[in-house]
Structure 1
Amino acid sequence: LKERPSIKNLIGLLIAFTGLIVLLGAPNLQDKYLGVILVLSGAFTWSLGQVFAKPISEKLNGIVITAWLGVLAGPQLILASQLIEGNVVSNIRSADYQAWLIVLYLGLLMNVLGYSIWYYLLGIYPVNKILPIMLLLPVTGVVTAIMFLGERPDLKVFMGGIVILFGVGMILIGKIKNQRVKHI
């Protein structure tokens, strides 16, 4: 991609990751190597996928990319569900209205809207400027849990969130207007 992050961006990323560790706490990973490997592998492949998606995002609309991802991933996910859970058809038939509302919320709002916006941004900004936005997900998760579930996180969670916001802000604030690839 020939996009090089600046020293400021690398420092901001390090600060944001530090905040993530504070927010999530240092989990006990003893004897959980498979889980750690799977999480790191997932993060790596997702990041690699975003690098490959960058040139496509510059040419195609975010909704088109999201639709194709759904078409290509859907059959694989149905097969995986059948192998892991079994009785996919029975599970679909027995789902109540709340389950369908959750599917609609996650499928339409979270995936279609969220990823369409994501791929739009990926098409107009350098990857190293927008990828850190994903570090905001734990912060928004905590805020949502406070608002809708009435959770009361401890001071450590708030401090971690502030550190994440500072690190991501350090990356995003500044020359982002000058680094637009194109205007759609």
Structure 2
Amino acid sequence: MFLRRFARPSSMMMMSKVKETTGIVGLEVVPNAREVLIGLYNKTLTEIQRVPEDEGYRKAVESFTRHRLRVCQEEQDWEAIEKRLGCGQVEELIEEAQDELKLIDKMIEWDPWGVPDDYECEVVENDAPVPKHVPLHRPGPLPEEFYKTLESVMAGKLDAAPKKDEPVVPSSTSQSA
């Protein structure tokens, strides 16, 4: 045993650190998490094509999925992926990606963008004063970085085009249910 442990130190040092636990009850370690994530992100980029091209939901999903896919393709080690993305453990990212795929199906089913242009919504205004014991929930101001990012997105500077070595998913015509 002693000899086996120290006989091949160079091969052991070449391997990335093995993850033994996620530290989260019920969330098992995924030994090939990088490959699983790459597959899920590619599938997400394909499935999101079913959402109309000009919808904000599609733009957001494409943007963050491309970014995460790019990181997974550039990094070989699960620790580096987790550090660069800063969105939790790779196992949590896998669950998120699986949930996003389910949500895409639900969004297609719900068709929230299918509201006719001539649809009129009744606006009900209530001028009654709010009792003092009811708190007025007013969100605080957003950080300045939010507005800078928003301006970049609106200007088409952020993730406007696929990067090198990134799968290009062709646009398709929107399907209506």
TM-score by length of 1: 0.26
- Structure having the higher helix fraction is 1
Higher-Rg structure is 2
Structure with higher RCO (Cα < 8 A, 6+ apart) = 1
Please give the TM-score of this superposition, normalised by the length of structure 2. Answer: 0.26
